Amino acid sequence: MPLSTVGTGREDATTTPWPVPQERRTLTVLFADIVGSTAVTERLDPEDVRAVQFAYFDTVAGVLRRWQGTVEKYVGDAVMALFGARTSDGLDGYRAVRAALEIQAALDRRTLPGGVTLRVRVGVATGEAVVDLAAARDGGHGMASGAVLTTAARIQGYAPAGGVVVCAATHRATAGLVDQHALAPASLTGKALPVDVWRVTRPTRHRPARHDGPLIGRRREVATVLDQLTGAVREHRPRWVALTGPDGIGRSRMLAELRHRLPEVDGRAVRWAVAHCPPYPEQVFGPVAELLRDLAGLPVGDPTDTVGPRLAALVDGLVPAGQVGPTVAALAALLDTPDRSAVAGAAAVRRVLLALAARRPVVVGVDDLDRAAPELGRFLHALFAAATDRGLPLAVLATHRPDRTDPLPAPAGRHRVELAPLGTLHTGRLLRRLLAGSGRPVGAATRLVPLVAGRPGHAAAYVEAVPRPGTGGDPLAGPAVEPALPEALRRRAAARLDRCDGVHRAVLMAAATLDVPVTAPAVAVLLGWAPDRVAGALRRLTDVGLLEPSARGGLVVADPAVRRCASDRLPRPVRADFARRAASAGLAGATEQAGATDPAGAVATRAGAVRPTGVTGRAGARRPLGVPHRAGVSGRVAPVHRAAPGRRTGATRAAEPVHRAGSAGRGGPAHRAGSAGQDAGTHRARSAGQWPGAGRQPAVLPWAARPHEPRRASGGTDGGRPGWAAAVTGRPSALADRPGRNGRRLAAVVPLPFRPSGVAAAQGPTTGRRRRGEGLPPPAVPLPARAA
């Protein structure tokens, strides 16, 4: 079986192609082959064989397109398809498995020419492959190469006729979503050891995951939501509360905590009804059926003979006596088949909820609303509108991603509570609790804190990847070793990355290879684009939260998992090309590109200091911005020094104490510890941070070191974040000055990480003295209009 294949499909369509022709992507491959095809062709006329093949291929291709798979060229009677070749939603393995099951069902239902009945075996494998994206469009051809293609073809031979088998990676990606049974390990040609395989039988009934882990750092958000819910009960004014945040931020955990903390209000018991929306719901009213099960206390898989009495007990007293029978019948039909035909059952659930709210407070919770079909949104809006008209103590609590768009107008009583990433302190506490609770070394928390990025879901994934004592080597051992990105986080990061169009994805992937804060000139050098084009993309990426201001000036990728995934996708030739361009421009690239001896791409210097290569210090020495001259000088935020008459002055380097402009030491050796020590004629430009591979210390502006507390500039286009101006233009964001005490002027400059060739240094005087704790106004720099 060949290692490469050509495919087309709906998923390959894109409006703005990614300019790099290939990517290393984790994708899922489906391979289907007819059982006993030789015997079928032997007894049929060639014209009948052709008719059977066309009918078979048409059936399989229709299913694959429905599940957003890329249909392959057919090899004999075999079909290969790719999921996640062009774009990923984080559920590529699940879509492939669902497509495999549906192929089997569709062939069982369809009568082929000549009365032929076909049975197929399907293998599904997940792994890394190189995908040619430049040609992967509708009507074109896209090439994928990798061992995962062969693996899918090999394991399908271990499936029974009409069965589906999956590899270990697909098994982990679909755990809890489909029913799976382990088979005997398969010995594949070319594999040194047998591989584990599982047989998939059907989609499982959705069982929400347990959310009983520690809740840390959410006191304010919990209090805000509880205040809204209790207000709805006390004021008899329905509230719609939306808990929003990116995947892994802890939305489901918050919903479980709120249900636990609000059993009653003012002595009145609160009736909760909670539903969880599975990915790609097969039955549009499934979450409504789950709400009904929660109300009636019906567990999944309850015997049919107990459903009727439980439903009758639920509606007793809530509907007129003459309507009990029809209401119970409609509710039972909803539980049996919650598809589009169950409109009457959904209406009955709405009537029951409203009647219940007339007696006691009711909270309807829906988790992952962005996964639901439009029918659920219409159900919730109708319920909320009816409760508002009647003045009932009812609240709707929904969780979803921030980018969800509701096709219906927002309710009048809607309140949005956004879950922000946890701070460093709370992240460390959460990691230590999780590590200790699972019997893993608590010391691993220190290395995991910067990787988690304040997301509890990421913390749980990394903790699961840490081996327990005595089970193997520690993946966190060694200062330069970065633990592998967990599969679950890679899937989320890939989906978030693929939601960007071609231009923004290119900018983000190039930015992920830089070890210095990102600016428009730096990315423009790597991609060979105009800086203005990159600047607009950087602003847009910051708007959607993929980039954020750095404490060192410029921007950084906000989520380390996205940064890792974006960098890993680049093929080796592209990485080498980026490294050459970065080196020629004096930029600090990624560690593996620069060939550095430590993660920072640095070399050892005297007194144990570590400096990135390519940064000039005194007398030709190479030194990073912000590293003290002598050992023992601690790095601090650099103040603005006093101007001396007749001298051009500027902000001192970051992390250096106050000194007078007259001690700049131009053209001479470095002066006492903490002074500027810069070459002649470069004090202003280089003190502003325009250095190749600039340092790794906090920026001058006090608010730049606290990006979570931005000061907003009126009328500016920097979104209220002072670091944006320097990030997108490669120049200091402003001379933010105002009258100070005794008539002095205070000024500050954001130091930048480099000055590529062709970018002029910003000049201008800065005078006055910055006092401890004295804030400076945010800069206001006119920028180009923000990208749409």
Provide mean pLDDT across the span 447-455: 93
Which pLDDT does position 702 carry in this prediction?
A: 34
Q: Residues 80, 29: contact at Cβ < 8 Å?
A: yes
Report CA torsion sign: 246, 249, 253, 258: negative
Q: Per the structure block, which two tokens stand in for 206? A: 């959705």
Beta bridge partners of 125: 29
Q: Is 88 left (phi over 0), alpha (psi -120 to 50) or beta?
A: beta
The Cα angle at residue 507 between residues 501 and 513, in degrees rounded to 5: 130
CA distance linking residue 745 with residue 35, whole number of Å:
84
Is pTM beyond 0.85? Reply is no
pLDDT score of 560 more than 60: yes
Residue 81 in 3-state DSSP?
strand
Q: What are phi and psi of 600, to 5 degrees?
A: -85, 0
Query: Between 46-66 and 92-109, two packed helices, what is the crossing angle to 10 degrees?
Result: 140
Which pLDDT does position 403 carry in this prediction?
A: 85
Point out the least confidently predicted range of 138-152, 305-319, 625-639.
625-639
DSSP annotation string for 234-287? HHT--EEEEEE--TTS-HHHHHHHHHHH-SEETTEEPEEEEEEPPSS-SSTTHH
Query: Considering only CA atoms, which of 788, 619, 636, 631 is closest in space to residue 699?
Result: 636
Q: Per the structure block, which two tokens stand in for 539? A: 């602003």
Which pLDDT does position 371 carry in this prediction?
A: 92
129-171 tens-digit pLDDT: 998 876 554 434 557 889 999 999 999 999 999 999 999 999 9
Which pLDDT does position 141 carry in this prediction?
A: 52
Q: Residues 675, 656: contact at Cβ < 8 Å?
A: yes
Which pLDDT does position 760 carry in this prediction?
A: 38
Reported confidence tier of residue 639, pLDDT bands at 50, 70, 90: very low
Query: Considering only CA atoms, which of 685, 684, 638 is closest in space to residue 661?
Result: 684
Q: Per the structure block, which two tokens stand in for 289? A: 């059926």
Residue 337 in 3-state DSSP?
coil
Q: Residues 82, 29: contact at Cβ < 8 Å?
A: yes
Which pLDDT does position 690 carry in this prediction?
A: 37
Instruction: Count the alpha carbons within 13 Å of 216 in the hemisphere toward its beta carbon.
Output: 20
Provide mean pLDDT across the span 392-398: 96
Single-letter amino acid, residue 63: V
Residue with tokens 């920026």: 699
Q: Which residues contact 102 (CB under 8 A, 6 or more apart)?
A: 63, 66, 67
Q: Residues 683, 667: contact at Cβ < 8 Å?
A: no
Q: Residues 579, 594: contact at Cβ < 8 Å?
A: yes
Q: Residues 124, 94: contact at Cβ < 8 Å?
A: no
Query: Considering only CA atoms, which of 550, 493, 337, 591 is closest in space to residue 25?
Result: 493
Query: Considering only CA atoms, which of 462, 514, 505, 463 is closest in space to residue 486?
Result: 462
Q: Per the structure block, which two tokens stand in for 364? A: 């309807």
Residue with tokens 């090439």: 143
Q: Residues 683, 676: contact at Cβ < 8 Å?
A: yes
Query: Considering only CA atoms, which of 509, 481, 503 is closest in space to residue 578?
Result: 509
Residue with tokens 């996708």: 569
Instruction: Count the alpha carbons within 13 Å of 498 in the hemisphere toward its beta carbon.
Output: 25
- Alpha helices (H) along 600-738: 683-687, 723-729
Which pLDDT does position 475 carry in this prediction?
A: 53
CA distance linking residue 283 with residue 276, whole number of Å:
13
CA distance linking residue 180 with residue 162, whole number of Å:
15
Provide mean pLDDT across the span 650-676: 39
Which pLDDT does position 385 carry in this prediction?
A: 94
DSSP annotation string for 539-604? HHHHHTTSEEE-TTSSEEES-HHHHHHHHHTS-HHHHHHHHHHHHHHT--B-HHHHT-SSTT-EEE
CA distance linking residue 126 with residue 186, whole number of Å:
16
pLDDT score of 758 more than 70: no
358-376 tens-digit pLDDT: 999 999 999 999 999 999 9
Higher pLDDT, 331 or 769: 331
Which pLDDT does position 588 carry in this prediction?
A: 59
Point out the least confidently predicted range of 7-21, 257-271, 331-345, 755-769.
755-769
DSSP annotation string for 398-449? EEE-TT---SSPPPTTEEEEE-PPPPHHHHHHHHHHHHHHTT--GGGHHHHH
- Computed over every residue of the chain, the mean pLDDT equals 75
Q: What are phi and psi of 257, to 5 degrees?
A: -65, -40
**53: enclosing H helix or E strand:** helix 46-66
Higher pLDDT, 681 or 162: 162
Which pLDDT does position 98 carry in this prediction?
A: 96
Give me the torsion for CA of 679, 682, 688, 694, rounded to 10°: -50
Q: How many CB atoms lie within 10 A of CB 70?
A: 28
CA distance linking residue 455 with residue 494, whole number of Å:
17
pLDDT score of 642 more than 60: no
- Alpha helices (H) along 442-501: 445-452, 456-465, 487-498
pLDDT score of 703 more than 70: no
Provide mean pLDDT across the span 336-347: 92
The Cα angle at residue 784 between residues 781 and 788, in degrees rounded to 5: 130
Length of the chain: 788
DSSP annotation string for 174-235? TTTTEEEEE-PPB--TT-SS-B--EEEEEEPPP-PPP--S---S-HHHHHHHHHHHHHHHHH
Q: Which residues contact 304 (CB under 8 A, 6 or more apart)?
A: none
- Hey, which of 190-194, 407-411, 543-547, 743-747 has the most confident mean pLDDT? 543-547
**Residue 89 to residues 142, 209, 715: CA-CA distances in angstroms?**
19, 20, 37
Point out the least confidently predicted range of 31-45, 90-104, 565-579, 611-625.
611-625
Q: Residues 405, 398: contact at Cβ < 8 Å?
A: no
